[in-house]
Amino acid sequence: MSDQKTHCGYVALVGAPNAGKSTLLNQLVGTKVSIVSPKVQTTRARVLGICLEGNAQVVFVDTPGIFSPKRRLDRAMVAAAWSGASDADIVVLLVDAKRGFDPDTRAIVEQFQKHNTKAVLAINKVDLVKKEKLLELTTVLNETGVVSETFMISALNGSGVSDLMEAVTKAMPEGPWLFPEDQLSDMPERMLAAEITREKLYLQLRQELPYRATVETESWEEKKDGSVRIGQMIFVERDSQKSIILGKNGSQIKALGAASRIELEEIFERRVHLFLFVKVRDKWGDDPERFKAMGLEFDA
Ligand code: GDP
Ligand code: MG
């Protein structure tokens, strides 16, 4: 290395719901720090993923998909997204190649135009789309005047990701590293553990599950043998939702707990004893405490 000075900065990942922001973040960091699901709006709060590239520490901010907010929870997520983008040194706009220049992406591009800012364009999911369509999409997006550079990537299989990484690394300003060198995320382990269980909820109960279910880690007990006992509460809004999550003779919650535990053991590299509970809490979407637990502003 010729340049011995350290560099450090923030890169905001913005894009329509489902564009692949969380998948890209996990791919960049090399481990799961943000949960992913085929359902839109899985990421609720702001999630950081931290990468070291030579002498640069690159801090990626995964934002909730930006969309037009109606309910309080949506507004809080949008506020978290824009605050992530405006604090960043560089913004990466992720566009789903299959969905193309859709209304969500248009709305985001208009915000960039309004604020006179530029973004690095990453056209994602190139594994799903023909070359001609990619070129067309690149042209259309570059005509908006907000694109500084374009990359074709597949966040899922990693193709093109190292070129993107190289480009954003170059944009990192000189400065001290903001995080310890082995830190990959700023999400507390308890919250990550809750997020993992929420991901399994989405994956196992796709249709039936209300997107408004939430999970909180209520207890975290270190055992002498190196294992950890984790207790989590799943909050739903109605009795009928509780029955769905429990399943016949508790079969559903058992499967949920098993899937979550396997992944928690992988991530934390230790044995995990996971205990899941379900509680009906009417209108948790209006409860400031639940927002705080997710790291969101209630009054956004
Ligand atoms: P986010 O809402 O922008 O965070 O999107 P996610 O990262 O949760 O991804 C949404 C869906 O797209 C998930 O089912 C991912 O597996 C899928 N996905 C993400 N990137 C790619 C990709 O490069 N190729 C393909 N085929 N699927 C992808
Ligand atoms: Mg996401």
How confident is the model over 92-110, as a mean pLDDT?
93
159: Cβ below 6 Å to ligand 1? Answer: no
127: Cβ below 6 Å to ligand 1? Answer: yes
Look over the chain and give the mean of its residue pLDDT values, rounded to a whole number.
84
Predicted structure pTM score: 0.71
Q: Is 86's pLDDT higher than 70?
A: no
Rounded to the nearest whole angstrom, what is the distance from the C-alpha of residue 38 to the centroid of ligand 2? 10
pLDDT (0 to 100) of residue 46? 62
DSSP code string of 62-122: E-PPP----SHHHHHHHHHHHHHHHT-SEEEEEEETTT-S-HHHHHHHHHHHHHT--EEEE
Could you tell me what percent of the chain has a pLDDT over 70?
A: 79
Continuous segment of H or E residues that includes residue 190:
helix 189-204
Which one, of 18, 14, 16, lies nearest residue 40 by Cα? 18
Crossing angle of helices 251-268/189-204, nearest 10°? 140
Rounded to the nearest whole angstrom, what is the distance from the C-alpha of residue 36 to the centroid of ligand 1? 7
How confident is the model over 22-50, as a mean pLDDT?
71
| Residue 274 burial class via C-beta count within 10 angstroms: exposed 0-12, middle 13-18, buried 19 and up | buried
154: Cβ below 6 Å to ligand 1? Answer: yes
What's the pLDDT tens digit per position in 225-270? 999 999 999 998 888 888 989 999 999 999 999 999 999 998 888 8
Q: Is 96's pLDDT higher than 80?
A: yes
Closest protein CA for atom 25 of ligand 1: 125
The one-character DSSP state at 174 is B
Q: Is 293's pLDDT higher than 70?
A: no
- Going along the chain from its start, the domains and CATH numbers come out as 7-170 (3.40.50.300), 189-294 (3.30.300.20)
Token pair of 225 as six digits: 């043998």
How confident is the model over 47-60, as a mean pLDDT?
88
